[in-house]
A and B are shown apart, each in its own frame.
Chain A
Amino acid sequence: MTTLNSRIPEGPIKDKWTLYKDKINLVNPANKRNIDIIVIGTGLAGGSAAATLAELGYSVKAFAYQDSPRRAHSIAAQGGINASKNYMGDGDSNYRLFYDTVKGGDYRSREANVYRLAEVSGNIIDQCVAQGVPFARDYGGLLDNRSFGGVLVSRTFYAKGQTGQQLLLGAYSAMNRQIARGKIEMFNRHEMLDVVKIDGKARGIIARNLITGEIERHSAHAVVVATGGYGNVYFLSTNAMGSNATAAWKIHKKGAFFANPCFTQIHPTCIPRSGDYQSKLTLMSESLRNDGRIWVPAKLEDAKAIQQKKLKPIQIAEENRDYFLERRYPAFGNLVPRDVASRAAKERCDAGFGVNATGEAVYLDFATAIKRYGTEQAKIHGINNASIEKITQLGEAVIEEKYGNLFQMYEKIIDENPYKTPMMIYPATHYTMGGVWVDYNLMTTVPGLYCIGEANFSDHGANRLGASALMQGLADGYFVLPYTIGDYLADDIRTGKIKTDLPEFDEAEKSVKSQLEFFINNKGTHTVDYYHKRLGQVMWDKVGMARNEKGLKEAITEIQEIREDFWKNVKVPGSLNEFNQELEKAGRVADFLELGELFAKDALEREESCGGHFREEHITDDGEAKRDDANFAYVAAWEYTGKPSEAILHKEELEFKDIELKTRSYK
């Protein structure tokens, strides 16, 4: 049986990474070109890794299911990227960034990894500026910073509301430079469908060309999985339509442990669902909570009237509104962390106070802010006795300058003017902190198989702070993996090219083909989306924002039933050897149907509430999350043994030597 060894270097936390780098094995430049590395996924983590490995001299093959690396979903990140540059001189440091991240993650992440992340964060900004990333600047020409939730300093660098896009395009440009030189061979519109292991090591993959349907064999000395999170297990999420867990799940089935699947972030400010046809959810930046006040009607009859469109929100008097975050958390009010805000909105909606036709929405109201800014502006402009209309006009101009693009996006989707009537928002699945278990080197439990970015479980514990996802993806790809992978590959300089006609490749290809053929030949009764939506409903209802033992047990049974039905009655049109989007989806949903069960099992096993994982049995007297450090300060790493229900739990105990464990309170 495999045992967990996190390979955390000895020494004080501040020196671990430096000392470690001093001692690891290196590969001579002449040997690097004879070593092949496969990178699957080309978002921030995969794209930056592929570019850097190619620059170092390795021969890289990169795979993306989209038609270009520039389309990976990292591109959708809005807010910014954290770095402990301390340009603002407000007391930031590597230690502070490390501390905030561990605390924000509710003390369920690995200290040594998080410290290293903080340590390389400043380098990321230097690197991106050198690549031509147009970060926001102040009038003196220096980089501007803003503040984000859960911290006391301004350390977030940004490029308008499109930081993810600009960072991804930076990594993409670095890739393009290497593609042009032939150092990266890029496989667009290709999907990895299995990993090939030879003598226990990852030595290649089976991929499908999504245009021709051809099944291809690719060999390498190491394989890197950088395919993002599994949020689409809920069907509806802020992920892209194609975001999937197939690569991560396939390597799990080949021996890579899967860690903390129940740690999922539900983001509080998303545009609510409008009907059953809904295909995805759109995030509205967290920054809106700086000026918006969240409320629902205080009276149930008002809420019912609003749901039936008989009453408008502006007709509800101030005293009949329930500003529930301000009521429950007077100290932090509307700025409580994401997990807390999401649960409070759900609690009100479950009690019947939701404000749209589906009953799943709360208001985010800017009227108070408009009035406050308008009055302030009137004073600045020396307007005495300004009319209400004038104040509103001035206030709206301030709001437009701060959030104009978000308000416009909202209006396009909902067709209501958020300056005049409150926005409607509801929580949605956004990010998965859990993922493939990796050691300090970012290697999985399979030798030669690495996992980076959102796809691994690493740095965010049970809850991720805003603007930290971009930081982690680029840290892994630019600055961590390129060092650690050399230590492993140093043993491979005499191996020579890995052949693809070995029996291990035959076997993997055979199983991939037989699954694809099954889908095409099954000719069942229900579409792939039918099953995906059913799974998503169970996940949302029973493994969503609040979980309990009974619900989780039911979820496990129901997911098993859906899975059984899927394998009997799924219907996939078209044929194998062509561009076939339904066939692509079928394989992804098949994997979600297994991952969902492990997710529920993990949530059932973790009998505490921490971060994004909220167990209704484990709450304080006033209804808040209650962590159990004595029994659950560990990473739950699951080993696949044939069925999700029979997965074996391995525990990596978490040690906190540099940070004292405390209870989070926002009252």
Chain B
Amino acid sequence: MNLTLKIWRQKGPQDKGRMVEYKVTDISEHMSFLEMMDVLNESLVAKDEEPIAFDHDCREGICGMCSLQINGEAHGPDRGITTCQLHMRMFKDGDTIFIEPFRANAFPVIKDLVVDRMAFERIQQAGGYISVNTSGNTQDANSIPISKQNADLSMDAASCIGCGACVASCKNSSAMLFVAAKVSQFALLPQGKVEAKDRVKNMVMQMDLEGFGNCTNTGACEIECPKGISIENIARLNREYLAATI
């Protein structure tokens, strides 16, 4: 198929940035979206033009590196996948596709489609851990039974890949789903209960400091989340936060 691409180009953080039009031809429906981008970049390099910078790594939907806003949707039109798992069969010959970086004040653009997600790192550093040393001198792994239901819910929350699609999809650029996933993972486990209050307060405080918006329960984050993390976790985060602050 032949496609028209309108891609965000931005030299660096200081540059204003603009949409630039590119044509690609003979795109196979079996290509992944990023392979289509590879084809475009190879042709740009061949023409002595600068290729388009975009983040990607594992290309199997788990590292959370890829981060494209395609036709206005985080990770594009398909559901339950990351950009690297999106395939060209989702598009038709002659389509025009708009490709932009994830947009949020807390995610400044580094170059073209690459954004800086250090805000997420700082939120994790504020409390996304259990304070136990890695000496291995802990009690036996089976000494505290954990109900299967809680272990499974904890796992569902823990499957967050930290891509930022929730923020990019939210009209308020809220990071509540991201923070809720980590808070919930630990709140559901006995090991995490010891520091639960400090954790939720510190992570929420850092989230606010980073300039993410508030949650107004539109639920867009849950729909665009490649791992299908439920907004029930946001409810749990609110409960934990309330319990910690009163």
Contacts and interface: CB of A to CB of B under 8 A. Distances in A.
A132 B189 contact: yes
Interface residues on A, range: 35 or more
A194 to B, nearest CB: 23
A75 B146 contact: no
A134 B118 CA distance: 25
Given A173-B124, A277-B39, A579-B53, A240 B58 contact: yes
B208 interface: no
A650 to B, nearest CB: 34
Contact of B136 (A71, A124, A172, A176): A124
Interface in B150-180: 151-152, 154-155, 158-159, 161-162
A179 B122 CA distance: 9
B30 A68 contact: no
A67 B148 contact: no
A624 to B, nearest CB: 33
B158 A412 contact: no
B3 interface: no
Interface stretch (B69-77, B81-89, B95-103, B214-222): B81-89
Contacts of A68: 117, 120-121, 162
B131 A413 contact: no
A493 to B, nearest CB: 22
Nearest to B11: A578
A137 B189 CA distance: 12
A125 B151 CA distance: 15
Contacts, number: 208
Given A279-B35, A581-B51, A573 B134 contact: no
B7 interface: no
B130 interface: yes
A238 B126 CA distance: 34
Interface in B44-65: 44-46, 48-51, 53, 55-65
A71 B64 contact: yes
A76 B46 CA distance: 33
Contacts of A67: 55, 65, 116-118
A55 B87 CA distance: 44
A141 B146 contact: yes
Given A67-B55, A180-B126, A579-B114, A126 B140 contact: yes
B31 interface: yes
Contacts of B126: 180
- Sorting the interface of chain B by its residue count into under 10, 10 to 19, 20 to 34 or 35 or more gives 35 or more
B136 A75 contact: no
A165 B62 contact: yes
Contacts of A581: 51, 53
Nearest to B139: A126
Contacts of A238: 60
B233 interface: no
Contacts of A280: 59-60
A169 interface: yes
B40 to A, nearest CB: 11
Contacts of B44: 573
A574 B53 CA distance: 11
Given A131-B191, A134-B158, A579-B114, 15 more contacts: A66-B57, A66-B63, A126-B136, A127-B134, A132-B130, A274-B28, A278-B35, A408-B80, A478-B134, A478-B136, A479-B136, A573-B49, A579-B53, A579-B111, A581-B51
9 residue pairs, one from A and one from B, having the closest CB atoms:
A141-B145, A173-B129, A123-B136, A130-B138, A134-B155, A134-B154, A129-B141, A180-B125, A71-B63
14 contacts: A67-B117, A68-B117, A71-B64, A75-B62, A132-B191, A137-B151, A141-B145, A142-B145, A159-B155, A176-B124, A240-B59, A279-B34, A529-B38, A571-B45
Interface of A: 48, 51-52, 55, 66-68, 70-73, 75-76, 85, 87, 120, 123-132, 134-143, 159-160, 162, 165-166, 169, 172-174, 176-177, 179-180, 186, 188, 211, 238, 240-242, 274-275, 277-280, 282-283, 408-409, 412-415, 478-479, 527, 529, 571, 573-574, 578-579, 581-582
